Structure 1
Amino acid sequence: MAKRDSAPEKRPGFFSQLKSLFRFTREIYGWLPWAQAAIVVGGVLIGVILGYLIPPSGVLAIILWGITGLMLGLLGAMMLMTRLSTSAMYQKIDGMPGASGHVLSTSLGRNWQASDTPAGINPKTQEAVYRAVGRGGVVVVGEGARGRLTRLVNEERSKAQRVAAGVPVTVLYVGHGEDEVQIKDLAKTIKKLPKKIDKATMAAVINRIESVSQSVTSLPIPKGIDPMKARAQRPR
C-alpha cells in the first residue's frame, strides 16, 4: 500500500505568534512588560474616572466604562509592542549577512519588487549585492565591507544600465558610515526616491533583468535571514 501523504505542517496560532513576538521584543526592551501593564492599568483607571464623572453615574456605568478603558488599554499595549518589535528586529539583524535582503523583500510595498536572495555574493567574505526595481528605477544595495563590494556593485550596476537603458540606477551601501544607510532606514530611503518610470516600464525592466540573471550560471546563493531566529542558540 502506498504511504499516506504526511499532514501539512500546522502553523502557529494567533496567541502563539503573539507570545513569540512578546518574547522577541522583550529581549531588547526589558521594560516592555512594565510599560504594557502601566498602559492597561491607566486605561482602566481613566475608564473608571469617566464612568464616575459622566452622568448618569452609577455602579453599572463605572463598570462599563472600566471595561472600555481595559479594552483601550490592551489595544494600546499591543500597539506599543508592535511598534517596538520593528525597532527590535532592526537591532537584531543589524550587521548580519542577509539583513538587507530581508528588509528589501518585506518592507518596500507595492511600488517595488525585490528578493531576499542576493543578486551577487562573495562566498568567501559574505559581501553581497541586492537589487530592487520599482517606480524609482533600479536600486543596487551593497552589504558588507565597502572596499570589497566595489566589483560586485559595479557588475550589478553595469548589468542594470545595459538592459534598462535610460532607467535611473541608484547605489546604496548599508552600514554606519557617513555616506552609508543604516539598515533601519533602508526601506524608507528607497521609498523616498522620486518616481521616474511608470508601471509598464517597471514590469519590462524586471523581466529583462530576470532573463539576464537566469541566463548566467552562478554559485548557490543563500537567502535572507529570519529576524525571529536572529539570536544566539541557547545550550541544551
Structure 2
Amino acid sequence: MARSTTPEKRPGFFSQIRTLYTFTQKAFPWLPFLLIGILTLGVAAGIVVGYLIPPVAIWSIILWAVTGLMLGILASMMTMTRLSTRAMYRRLDGMAGAAGHVISTGLGRRWQASEMPVGVNPKTQEAVYRAIGRGGVVIIGEGSRGRLTRLVNDERMKVQRVASGVPITVLYVGHGDDDVPINKLAATIKKLPKAIDRATMAAVIKRIDSVSQSVTSLPIPKGIDPTKARAPRPR
C-alpha cells in the first residue's frame, strides 16, 4: 500500500492560543481575571487619550479605544507567554530529565547540548549532562549531590584529558546551598564569561565527541515527557 504523502496538518493559530491558555491557566487559576484586567485597562487608556487629544469627537474616541484594545491584546499575549514559561518550569522542577530538556532547548545556538545524559546512575536516576560553548564546558548534575560525585568526576576527567586548559564549570540543579534552580539553569550558563573562541569551541566539541562513550544504551531518566512539559507557544 502506498504511503500517504499528505503533510500533517499543524494546529491553527487560534488552536495554539487556546492550548497555551489552557496550559497556563492550570498553573495560574487567576489568569482569566488578569487578562480581562489588561484588556479593560487598554481600552480605558485609549478612551482617555481620545478625550485628551483634539479634535474630541466620537469617531476619534472609538478609534483610540480600538487602538487601546489592540495594545491590550498584545500585552495580554506577552503576559500569558511569560506566565506559560513559569508554568513550564513549575512542572519541570524536580522531574528526572528536566536539566537535559532545559539545556537542549534553552541555550541557543552559541551552546551545544543534548537532552541525553552523558552519565546515568540507573538505580537512583541521578544523571549528568554536558554543555559546550564560548564559556567552556559545563557539567550539570541532576539529583543528590553526594551520589553524583563519581559521575561528575568521571566526566570532568574525561574533558580535562582532551580539552586541557578549557574552563570547566560544574553546576548542580536543585534548591540547596549553591544549587541552581531549574528555572535559572539556562540563564546561569549563558552568563558565564567567554573563555574560548569559536574555533577552539568547535575543536573541543570534536575531541569530546570522539572519546565519549555511546550513551544510546543508557536508560533515559523517567519522569519527564518534553513534549508535554514544554509550554506551547503560538507561531
Q: 1:69 — aligned with what?
A: 68
Cα root mean square deviation, aligned: 1.9
Distance change >3 Å, CA 70–CA 218, structure 1 → 2 = closer
Tell me by how many angstroms 1:216 deviates: 4.4
1:116-154 CA-partner distances (Å, limit 9, x unpaired) = 111111122111100000011000000011111111111
Distance change >3 Å, CA 143–CA 56, structure 1 → 2 = same
Work out which of the residue numbers 219, 222, 229 in structure 1 matches 2:220. 222
Report percent identity of matched pairs. 64
1:97 paired to 2:96: yes
Between the aligned partners of 1:124 and 1:7, the Cα distance in structure 2 is 44
Q: What are the residue-to-residue correspondences of 1:139-158 with 2, within 5 Å?
A: 139-158=138-157
Greater mean deviation of Cα atoms: 136-145 or 116-125: 116-125
* Residues 125 and 221, structure 2, Cα contact 8 Å, conserved in 1: no
Tell me by how many angstroms 1:227 deviates: 5.0
1:17-73 CA-partner distances (Å, limit 9, x unpaired) = 221111111111111110001100111111112112210111110110011000000
Q: What are the residue-to-residue correspondences of 1:153-192 with 2, within 5 Å?
A: 153-192=152-191
Tell me by how many angstroms 1:201 deviates: 0.4
Tell me by how many angstroms 1:157 deviates: 0.8
Tell me by how many angstroms 1:15 deviates: 1.8
Query: What is the TM-score with the length of structure 1 in the denominator?
Result: 0.91
Partner SS, residue 220 of structure 2? coil
1:115 paired to 2:114: yes
Q: 1:234 — aligned with what?
A: none
Give the count of matched residue pairs.
229
Q: 2:15 — aligned with what?
A: 16
1:57-93 CA-partner distances (Å, limit 9, x unpaired) = 1111011001100000001111110111111111110
Partner SS, residue 137 of structure 2? strand
1:179-236 CA-partner distances (Å, limit 9, x unpaired) = 11111111111111111100000011111111212x54762342894456249xxxxx
Structure with more relative contact order (C-alpha pairs < 8 Å, separation 6 or more): 2
* Residues 120 and 218, structure 2, Cα contact 8 Å, conserved in 1: no
1:84-123 CA-partner distances (Å, limit 9, x unpaired) = 1111111110000111011101111232111111111112
* Residues 136 and 168, structure 2, Cα contact 8 Å, conserved in 1: yes
